[in-house]
Amino acid sequence: MSETKPLRRKARARRAGVTMADVAAEAGVSMQTVSRALREPHTVAPETLELITAAIRKTHYVHNLAASVLASPRSTREAVEMSTPASRATSLSRGLMT
């Protein structure tokens, strides 16, 4: 039985689809510049934005929102704490049990 080499990171990414790194390489800019162009295009020079837009079209890049959420250090979840008096909570639990 022949052994197969593990796929390198780039090979795995290509199998999964076009990545932001692919767009950056095509446009000749950094991944940070591509990210900024997607999030805040007004902060990127018009010439650079044109290069990135052309690279996106050429590579057929599609922004993966799920990946962005996972990579973001910010949470989009909010917690709500509800406080009820003990007697009210007891009557609520009795009502649920019947």
Whether residue 80 is contained in a domain is answered as: no
Q: Domain range for residue 33?
A: 1-72
Burial class (CB in 10 A: 0-12, 13-18, 19+), 55: buried
- pLDDT score, position 71: 73
Residue 60 forms part of a structural domain: yes
pLDDT at 43: 95
Give the per-residue pLDDT at 95. Answer: 58
The tens digit of pLDDT for each residue in 54-81 reads 999 999 998 887 777 777 777 666 556 6
The pLDDT assigned to 49 comes to 96
In a domain, 79, yes or no: no
Q: How far apart are CA 32 and CA 50, in angstroms?
A: 16
Q: If DSSP codes are grouped into helix, strand and coil, which group holds residue 75?
A: coil
Q: Residue 37: inside a domain, yes or no?
A: yes
User: Alpha-carbon distance 38 to 65, whole Å?
Assistant: 12
Q: Which amino acid makes up residue 31?
A: M
What is the Cα–Cα distance from 60 to 5, expressed in whole angstroms? 29
Spans of the chain below 50 pLDDT: 1-2, 7, 9, 11-15
What's the one-letter identity of residue 39?
R
Inside any domain, residue 81: no
